Amino acid sequence: MPLSSNTNYKEHDFNGIPSTTHGYAALAPGNRASMDSSGDTSHPRAAAQQSLDLIEHLMDQGSEPAIIPPHERPRISSLKALGFSGSDSEVLEQAYKENPQLVARVSSSAAMWTANAATVAPSCDTTDGRLQVVPANLHCHPHRNLEADMSEIIFRKIFEALVESDGAVIHDPVPSHDQTGDEGAANHMRFAARHGDQGLHVFVHGKNHSYPAAAKPHIHPARQDFAASKALVRKLKLSPENVIHVQQNPVAIDTGIFHNDVIGVNNLGAFMVHEIAYEQHDRAINAIRKEFQGQLHLLVARDLSLEDAVNTYIFNSRIVLLPNGKMQLLASEHCQANPRVMAYINKIVSDPNNPITEVKFFDLTQSMENGGGPACLRLRMVLSQEEKAAMNGRMFVDQTMLGELRSWVDRNYREDLTPAELADPQLLNESRTALDELTQIMELPSLYEFQR
């Protein structure tokens, strides 16, 4: 694999913010936390502030975090497409009366997990030298499949100038089909010696329809298709010699590990992974070791059960590169309650031979109870300084903007929300007011359907 370097590139976390309709409706079979919280009262204001706490910490560490705005929820246009008619409030009332789960689906705040929004290849990796973004189709679940078109709109909006100058390509999603389900960056890892170096891209799939004899999960659905991963490689303009495909272990999927980022996480050459994350695990790891032209710091968990991984989301932590060249692990507070997980973390940060030198724990209860940890709440993008400067709107958060966002949340988000309140027409009005204000803060006018 050829190795080139450009120190002009930097990795940025594009963070998700929960919508005003953040709730627990058990919409994702296979996601155990989501199922366990079914019907509970949620706390949208706390959910949004917890996401902002992560962003504030990144800022304090010298990173330059960005945000991706929430999607419009409840999505009335989806109900109208199903034949409900009348005013928006009447449509919401009719739909809830007939099928409360349908309203929960179009009110889902799952777009907060921006790791599923797209798969991104930086311009330093692509054969045409352009930034490539492919929004995920999220075919596996109806409430998430609703996100694909809006994610594409958001990326086209924020990269509009860069696309017009031929510096980026925003693709259509991979066609949505039972054999081409794509879950975005949650099943993609990029290894590089430095962020501006040519990267090695690892795509993780859970099923392969072209190979019927492949091992399959029996309890929970595998979400990422091999055919979708292959399509992503083509769309992202990646050279085959810089790509590896591996299959997720079906046993892990059946335990509740529905994406790769619940069983493995990396940054540059630091790679935290469970010992049976992949089918033919040793072969997969050896392939990465062979093809990665950099120092691989392999941090294998050998004393953790898959249950430990699911219950704590230790592998859904973020590994963040600090300005001093060291790395920091950002983990959920759930990890602190598990002695085996803490022993693994302590072993990592006490080892002088790997770059992860410290860990910080965060209260992400609202996201965790719905099945998403620290890494779910961010989409990583490696951008050059010129690409970053060309982005539309106010995407990158500074102290002034952080204060505006915290006030915006306090002003517009309910403290508590029950499932029945999703049918409240006033919540629809509150949600649109909040989004209208946010587009002003972010300088992204006319982003949502109700604004056009």
**Does pLDDT of 33 surpass 60?**
no
pLDDT band, very low/low/confident/very high, at 6 (cuts 50, 70, 90): low
Mean pLDDT over 119-146 rounds to: 97
> Which residue in 43, 274, 376, 387 is the catalytic one?
376
| CA pair distance 437, 191, nearest whole angstrom | 38
- The CA–CA distances, whole Å, from 148 to 12, 139, 151, 206 equal 22, 9, 5, 20
Mean pLDDT over 42-58 rounds to: 97
> Which residue in 11, 72, 183, 387 is the catalytic one?
183
Instruction: Specify the pLDDT at position 3.
Output: 34
| The residue to which tokens 């600090």 are assigned | 322
Percent of the chain clearing pLDDT 90 (strictly above): 91
Kindly report, residue by residue over 205-243, the tens digit of the pLDDT: 999 998 888 889 999 999 999 999 999 999 999 999 999
pLDDT band, very low/low/confident/very high, at 287 (cuts 50, 70, 90): very high
Lowest-confidence pick of 24-28, 123-127, 143-147, 212-216 = 24-28
Instruction: Specify the pLDDT at position 4.
Output: 37
Lowest-confidence pick of 21-25, 246-250, 346-350, 401-405 = 21-25
Question: With helix as H, strand as E and coil as C, how does the chain read?
Answer: CCCCCCCCEEEEEEEECCCCCCCCCCCCCCCHHHHHCCCCCECHHHHHHHHHHHHHHHHHCCCCCEEECCCCCCCHHHHHHCCCCCCHHHHHHHHHHHCHHHHHHHCCCHHHCHHHCEEEECCCCCCCCCEEEEECCCCCCHHHHCHHHHHHHHHHHHCHHHHHCCCEEECCCCCCCCCCCCCHHHHEEEECCCCCCCCEEEEEECECCCCCCCCCCCCCCCCCEHHHHHHHHHHCCCCHHHEEEEEECHHHHHHCCCCHHHCEEEECCEEEEECCCECCHHHHHHHHHHHCCCCCEEEEECCCCHHHHHHHCHHHCEEEECCCCCEEEEEEHHHHHCHHHHHHHHHHHCCCCCCEEEEEEECCHHHHCCCCCCCCCEEEEEEEHHHHHCCCCCCECCHHHHHHHHHHHHHHCCCCECHHHHHCHHHHHHHHHHHHHHHHHHCCCCCCHHHC
- CA-based nearest residue to 261, from 379, 140, 381: 379
Kindly report, residue by residue over 133-177, the tens digit of the pLDDT: 999 999 999 999 999 999 999 999 999 999 999 999 999 999 999
pLDDT band, very low/low/confident/very high, at 5 (cuts 50, 70, 90): very low
**Which of the following CATH numbers is that of domain 9-73+108-249+378-451: 3.40.50.720, 2.30.42.10, 3.75.10.20, 2.160.10.10?**
3.75.10.20
> Does the active-site annotation cover 209?
no
On average, the pLDDT of the chain sits at: 94
Instruction: Specify the pLDDT at position 214.
Output: 85
> Does the active-site annotation cover 259?
yes
Check the CA dihedral 348-349-351-356 and report its sign. positive
**Does pLDDT of 36 surpass 70?**
no
> Which residue in 201, 259, 281, 297 is the catalytic one?
259
> Does the active-site annotation cover 220?
no
Kindly report, residue by residue over 424-446, the tens digit of the pLDDT: 999 999 999 999 999 999 999 99
pLDDT band, very low/low/confident/very high, at 34 (cuts 50, 70, 90): low
**Does pLDDT of 56 surpass 90?**
yes
Instruction: Specify the pLDDT at position 1.
Output: 32
